[in-house]
C-alpha cells in the first residue's frame, strides 16, 4: 500500500520543475482570482499551470507558499501586514516587499481593487436603531455579533477593532458562508463582510462606516516566490498585464456571477479572461443546474477515488502501527499508560491546526499531510481496541496457550489475536468510519475528495454544492460500515459466535 | 522423573507454598490432594512453568526448568485443566493438532495421531469438526486430554480435570482416565480435592494443607499409618465406602 502511494505521488514530484502551482484561499473571491491567475498563466503557453483551490486559511496557504508547494496566490496587503509580517505599519507594497524578501517571497501586480473588512447590518434594522457607523454600535450593547472565525482571531480583525472602538460585545463565531442566512433570520444583528461581497445588495445590507479608520487597506496583489519571474519569464509578463484590470465594481460583479448566478469558478474566470483578451465575452455556460447534475458531475469519480485513497491508505498505515502498539500496551502496563495517553492526546488536536502544523513539517500541501493527519487520528480506536481485546482474554486460555509450549509469536498469531479479533476489527471499523468524515477537511489543504465540494459550497453559500459533497461522504461511511460487518462475518471464527 | 527441590511461593503476604521437596516417580500416577488453597495447584503449575518458585528449583529428568528452556520442556508435558481449556475459535481437531502443526509435523502424521487419540479417548469423528461451544462438558474434557497427549509427552499433568462435570459423566471419565493411565504408562500428576478420585486413580497420594505436605505415600500408608490426626480427619470427611481408618 505504501509503495502504491509513493508511485501515485511520483508524477507530481517529477514534473514539479515545469509546473506553476497557483493557490487560493477558501472563499469565493480567492477561488475566482486563483482561477484567473491559473488561466492567464496557462494561456502564456510556457508552463503547465495547476490551481490548488480552497487551501484553508491564511496560515495554511502561506505555509504552502513558503514550502514551495505552491508558487503564487492572490492575497491582500492588509492581511500580509497584520497576519504574515505582524507589522501594522508595513502597508505599502515597497515596505512589504522589503520584509518578504528575507523569506524569498514578494508581492506584485496590484489588481486594482481594495477589499477591506467591514461590519454590516440589515439596512432595515440599522435604520430602526439609527446606526450608521461602527462607533454607533457601542450604544447598543444588546446586539448579537456573528463573526467569521478568521476575523475573530486576526490582529486586524475583532481584537483590534474591539479595542479601537471600545466595543462591549461578546461575539459568536459563525462560518462566513452561513452568516448571511443567520443575519436574514435575525439570529445575529451584525456580521463581518468583505467590501467586494456579492451579497451586500442581495440581502439589503448597510455597510457601517469605519469612522475611526481602523481597517487598513486590503489591496489585492499577487504574493509569489521570488524565483517565479526567472523560472517562467513569459508567464510572469502575462500575469503583469493583470495590473489594475479589476476594479472593485468588477470584482463584486464576478463574485455575484459565482454566488448569485451559480456559475462555476471556472466559468466566471474563463469569462473574465476571454474579455481581457479582447474576445467576445462569452463565458462557457454551465447549462441549467440540477442537484443530480452536480452530485454526479464530471468530478464525481475523481473525488471518490481521492476520498477512498485518503481513507484507506491512512487506515492501512494506522493498522500497521496501531495493532503492534496495542499488543505492546497489553503486554506492558507501564508502556500502556503512555501509549494510550499519547494516541488519546493526538485525538484532541483540532484538525485544521494539525494540518497547518504538518504542512511546514512535510514541506508540501495536499495528500501527504492529509494522510499523516488521518493516520494519527485513526490510531486511538485501533490501539485501544487491540489492547482491551487482548486484556479481555480469560486468564485460563492465556495460560493454556503458554502451557502448550507455543513460542510467543505463534501464541500471538494463532491464539491471542484471533481471540481479540472481534474487538480489533471493531476498532478498525470505528477508525474507517471516522476517517471518511475527517477526510472531508483534507480538501482545505488541496488533498481533494468530497470535501472539495463541501469547501466550495461553504465558500459561496451554495447548499446544493455542499450537499453534493456531504451526501456521498455519508453514503461512503455507511458502505464502509457495511463492508466491515461483512468482514466480521468472514474473519471472525464461527466458534466465537453465540 | 520430576523433582521439586525446596520450592516455595508466596503471593504478597500470603504463603502459597512453604519450602517443599517432592519427587514424582516415573510411569506412576501421583495425586495431589488437599483443601482449597493448600498449594496443590501451585505445585502443579510450577512443573509446567506457569508459576515460578520464589526459591528452590524444578528438575525434569535432571535438567532445571528455566525461562529459556520452558517452551521446549512444555513439549514433553501434557497439561489439562478444568473444562479442557480449549480455544473457542478453533474446532476440536484444530485444538488437538495446533502445536503439532506449529512445529511443522507432517500432515499425514497429524491425521494418524488424531485418529489414534480419538479412539483412545472415545471421541466420535463428528465431534472433531465441532467448535468447543457445541461439545458436551465430557467431550470438551476428552478433547483436552487429546490435545495434551498429541506429541506423546512422557509427562501428563491434570488440574482438577473433572471438577466441572456432572456426577455420571465424572464417574465415567474417572474409569476412562484409569484405563488410559494404565495403557499409556506415563508420569501422571493429578490435582483433585476428592479423596475417592485420589484413591481410585493414584498410585501415590500427596496430602497438602496450608502450603505444606502433610503426608506422601500410598493409599495404604495414609489409611493405616496417618502421620497426624489431620490425615485421618481428611479421609474420614469423604463420607465414602473406604475401609475403616486405624487409630
The shortest C-alpha distance from B75 to chain A (Å) reads: 6
* A296 DSSP assignment: T
User: Which of A495, A496, A497 is the best mutation test for B, with the most CBs of B within 10 A?
Assistant: A495
ipTM reported for the complex, 2 dp = 0.90
In what side-by-side order are the strands of the sheet with A72-76? A48-52, A19-23, A72-76, A220-225, A105-108
Determine the topology of domain B1-76+155-166+186-247 in CATH: Rossmann fold (3.40.50)
- The average confidence (pLDDT) of chain A is 87
Q: What pLDDT shows up at residue A203?
A: 87
Q: How confident is the model at residue A308 (pLDDT cuts 50, 70, 90)?
A: very high
Say if A396 is an interface residue toward chain B (CB within 8 Å). yes
In what side-by-side order are the strands of the sheet with A190-194? A172-173, A145-147, A190-194, A117-122, A205-207
Give the residue range(s) of CATH 3.40.50.300 domains in chain B: 1-76+155-166+186-247
Q: What pLDDT shows up at residue B64?
A: 92
The three cell numbers locating residue A193? 463582510
Q: What pLDDT shows up at residue B238?
A: 67
The three cell numbers locating residue B247? 487409630
The residue-averaged pLDDT of B70-80 equals: 93
Are A402 and B131 an interchain contact pair (Cβ–Cβ within 8 Å)? Answer: no
Q: Name the architecture of domain A300-496.
A: Orthogonal Bundle (1.10)
Closest Cα to residue A324, out of A337, A311, A339?
Answer: A339
Q: What pLDDT shows up at residue A3?
A: 47
Q: What pLDDT shows up at residue B240?
A: 55
Q: Is pLDDT larger for residue A56 or for residue A251?
A: A251
From CA A111, how far away is CA A251, in angstroms rounded?
A: 10
- Chain A residue numbers with beta carbons less than 8 Å from the beta carbon of B75 are 405
- The full set of domain ranges for chain A reads 16-112+218-287, 117-207, 300-496
From CA B159, how far away is CA B112, in angstroms rounded?
A: 28
Terminal-to-terminal C-alpha distance of chain A: 35
Using one digit for the tens of pLDDT, what is the confidence trace for A119-166? Answer: 999 999 999 999 999 999 988 988 999 998 888 888 778 988 999 999
From CA B120, how far away is CA B123, in angstroms rounded?
A: 8
Q: Sort A458 into a burial class: Cβ within 10 Å, 0-12 / 13-18 / 19+.
A: buried
Helix (H) or strand (E) holding A488: helix A463-491
Closest Cα to residue A286, out of A264, A256, A255?
Answer: A264
Q: What pLDDT shows up at residue B147?
A: 96
User: Which of A389, A405, A409, A421 is the best mutation test for B, with the most CBs of B within 10 A?
Assistant: A405
* B54 DSSP assignment: S
Say if A401 is an interface residue toward chain B (CB within 8 Å). yes
The residue-averaged pLDDT of A429-439 equals: 95
Residue A459 clears pLDDT 60, i.e. is over it: yes
Residue A13 clears pLDDT 70, i.e. is over it: no
Q: Would the CATH topology of A16-112+218-287 be identical to that of A300-496?
A: no
State the Cα angle at A136 between A29 and A203, rounded to 5°: 35
Q: How confident is the model at residue B236 (pLDDT cuts 50, 70, 90)?
A: confident
Q: What pLDDT shows up at residue A289?
A: 67
Using one digit for the tens of pLDDT, what is the confidence trace for B159-176? Answer: 999 987 888 999 999 999
- CATH no. of A16-112+218-287: 3.40.190.10
What count of CB pairs under 8 Å joins A to B? 66
From CA A153, how far away is CA A155, in angstroms rounded?
A: 7
Q: How confident is the model at residue B210 (pLDDT cuts 50, 70, 90)?
A: very high
Say if A418 is an interface residue toward chain B (CB within 8 Å). yes
Q: Are B234 and B245 in contact (CB under 8 A)?
A: no
Using one digit for the tens of pLDDT, what is the confidence trace for A340-350? Answer: 999 999 999 98
From CA A77, how far away is CA A54, in angstroms rounded?
A: 19
Residues of B within an 8 Å Cβ radius of A: 48-50, 70-75, 77, 79, 81-82, 85-91, 98-99, 102, 131-133, 147
* Strand boundaries in chain B, DSSP class E: 2-11, 14-24, 29-33, 55-60, 63-64, 77-81, 155-159, 187-192, 204-209, 212-217
Instruction: Return the number of other C-beta atoms located less than 10 Å from residue A215's C-beta.
Output: 21
Using one digit for the tens of pLDDT, what is the confidence trace for B190-207? Answer: 999 899 999 999 999 999
Q: Report residue B80: phi and psi, to 5°.
A: -120, 130
**CA gyration radius, chain A:** 26
Q: What pLDDT shows up at residue B239?
A: 58
Are A415 and B87 an interchain contact pair (Cβ–Cβ within 8 Å)? Answer: yes
Are A405 and B71 an interchain contact pair (Cβ–Cβ within 8 Å)? Answer: yes
Query: Cβ neighbours of residue A494 under 8 Å, at least 6 residues apart?
Result: B131
Say if A491 is an interface residue toward chain B (CB within 8 Å). no
Q: How confident is the model at residue A288 (pLDDT cuts 50, 70, 90)?
A: low
Q: Report residue A197: phi and psi, to 5°.
A: -65, 135
Are A400 and B81 an interchain contact pair (Cβ–Cβ within 8 Å)? Answer: yes
- CATH no. of A117-207: 3.40.190.120
The three cell numbers locating residue B235? 479421609
Amino acid at each position: 500500500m505504501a509503495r502504491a502511494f509513493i508511485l501515485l505521488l511520483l508524477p507530481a514530484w517529477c514534473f514539479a520543475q515545469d509546473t506553476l502551482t497557483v493557490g487560493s484561499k477558501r472563499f469565493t473571491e480567492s477561488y475566482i482570482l486563483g482561477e484567473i491567475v491559473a488561466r492567464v498563466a496557462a494561456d502564456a503557453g510556457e508552463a503547465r499551470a495547476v490551481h490548488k483551490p480552497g487551501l484553508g486559511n491564511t496560515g495554511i496557504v502561506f505555509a504552502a507558499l513558503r514550502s514551495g508547494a505552491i508558487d503564487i496566490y492572490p492575497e491582500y496587503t492588509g492581511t500580509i501586514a497584520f497576519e504574515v509580517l505582524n507589522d501594522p505599519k508595513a502597508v505599502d507594497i515597497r515596505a512589504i516587499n522589503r520584509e518578504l524578501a528575507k523569506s524569498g517571497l514578494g508581492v506584485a501586480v496590484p489588481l486594482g481593487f481594495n477589499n477591506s473588512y467591514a461590519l454590516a447590518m440589515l439596512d432595515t434594522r440599522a435604520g430602526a436603531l439609527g446606526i450608521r457607523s461602527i462607533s454607533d454600535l457601542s450604544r447598543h450593547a444588546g446586539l448579537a455579533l456573528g463573526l467569521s472565525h478568521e476575523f475573530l482571531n486576526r490582529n486586524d480583525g475583532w481584537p483590534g477593532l474591539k479595542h479601537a472602538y471600545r466595543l462591549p460585545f461578546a461575539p459568536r463565531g459563525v462560518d462566513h458562508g452561513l452568516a448571511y442566512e443567520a443575519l436574514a433570520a435575525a439570529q445575529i444583528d451584525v456580521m463581518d463582510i468583505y467590501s467586494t461581497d456579492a451579497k451586500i445588495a442581495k440581502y439589503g445590507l448597510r455597510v457601517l462606516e469605519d469612522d475611526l479608520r481602523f481597517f487598513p487597506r486590503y489591496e489585492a496583489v499577487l504574493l509569489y516566490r521570488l524565483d517565479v519571474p526567472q523560472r517562467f519569464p513569459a508567464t510572469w509578463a502575462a500575469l503583469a498585464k493583470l495590473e489594475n484590470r479589476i476594479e472593485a465594481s468588477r470584482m463584486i460583479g464576478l463574485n455575484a456571477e459565482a454566488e448569485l448566478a451559480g456559475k462555476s469558478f471556472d466559468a466566471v474566470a474563463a469569462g473574465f479572461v476571454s474579455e481581457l483578451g479582447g474576445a467576445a465575452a462569452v463565458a462557457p455556460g454551465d447549462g441549467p443546474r440540477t442537484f443530480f447534475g452536480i452530485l454526479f458531475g464530471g468530478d464525481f469519480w475523481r473525488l471518490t477515488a481521492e476520498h477512498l485513497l485518503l481513507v484507506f491508505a491512512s487506515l492501512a498505515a494506522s493498522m500497521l502501527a496501531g495493532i503492534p502498539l496495542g499488543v505492546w500496551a497489553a503486554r506492558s502496563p507501564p508502556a500502556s499508560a503512555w501509549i494510550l495517553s499519547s494516541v488519546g492526546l493526538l485525538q484532541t488536536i483540532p484538525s485544521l491546526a494539525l494540518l497547518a502544523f504538518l504542512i511546514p513539517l512535510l514541506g508540501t500541501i495536499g495528500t501527504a499531510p492529509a494522510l499523516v493527519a488521518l493516520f494519527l487520528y485513526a490510531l486511538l480506536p485501533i490501539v485501544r481496541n487491540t489492547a482491551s481485546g487482548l486484556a479481555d482474554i480469560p486468564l485460563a486460555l492465556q495460560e493454556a496457550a503458554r502451557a502448550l509450549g507455543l513460542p510467543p509469536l505463534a501464541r500471538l498469531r494463532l491464539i491471542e489475536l484471533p481471540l481479540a479479533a472481534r474487538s480489533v476489527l471493531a476498532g478498525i471499523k470505528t477508525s474507517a468510519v471516522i476517517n471518511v468524515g475527517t477526510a472531508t477537511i483534507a480538501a482545505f489543504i488541496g488533498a481533494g475528495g468530497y470535501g472539495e465540494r463541501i469547501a466550495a459550497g461553504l465558500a459561496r453559500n451554495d447548499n446544493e454544492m455542499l450537499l453534493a459533497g456531504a451526501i456521498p461522504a455519508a453514503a461512503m461511511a455507511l458502505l464502509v460500515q457495511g463492508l466491515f460487518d461483512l468482514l466480521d462475518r468472514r474473519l471472525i471464527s464461527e466458534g466465537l459466535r453465540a | 522423573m520430576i523433582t521439586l527441590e525446596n520450592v516455595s511461593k508466596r503471593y504478597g503476604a500470603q504463603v502459597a507454598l512453604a519450602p517443599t521437596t517432592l519427587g514424582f516417580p516415573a510411569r506412576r500416577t501421583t495425586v495431589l490432594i488437599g483443601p482449597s488453597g493448600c498449594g496443590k495447584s501451585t505445585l502443579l503449575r510450577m512443573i509446567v512453568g506457569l508459576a515460578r518458585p520464589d526459591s528452590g528449583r524444578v528438575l525434569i529428568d535432571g535438567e532445571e526448568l528455566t525461562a529459556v528452556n520452558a517452551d521446549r520442556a512444555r513439549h514433553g508435558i501434557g497439561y489439562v485443566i478444568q473444562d479442557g481449556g480449549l480455544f473457542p475459535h478453533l474446532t476440536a481437531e484444530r485444538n488437538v493438532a495446533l502445536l503439532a502443526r506449529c512445529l511443522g509435523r507432517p500432515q499425514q502424521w497429524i491425521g494418524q495421531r488424531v485418529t489414534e487419540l480419538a479412539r483412545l479417548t472415545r471421541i466420535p469423528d463428528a465431534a472433531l469438526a465441532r467448535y468447543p461451544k457445541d461439545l458436551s462438558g465430557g467431550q470438551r474434557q476428552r478433547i483436552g486430554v487429546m490435545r495434551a497427549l498429541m506429541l506423546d509427552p512422557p509427562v501428563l499433568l491434570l488440574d482438577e480435570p473433572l471438577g466441572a462435570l456432572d456426577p455420571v459423566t465424572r464417574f465415567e471419565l474417572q474409569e476412562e482416565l484409569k484405563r488410559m493411565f494404565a495403557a499409556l504408562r506415563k508420569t501422571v500428576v493429578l490435582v483433585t480435592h476428592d479423596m475417592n478420585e485420589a484413591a481410585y486413580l493414584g498410585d501415590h497420594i500427596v496430602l497438602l494443607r496450608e502450603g505444606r505436605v502433610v503426608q506422601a505415600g500410598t493409599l495404604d500408608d495414609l489409611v493405616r499409618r496417618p502421620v497426624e490426626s489431620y490425615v485421618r480427619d481428611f479421609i474420614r470427611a469423604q463420607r465414602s465406602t473406604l475401609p475403616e481408618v486405624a487409630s
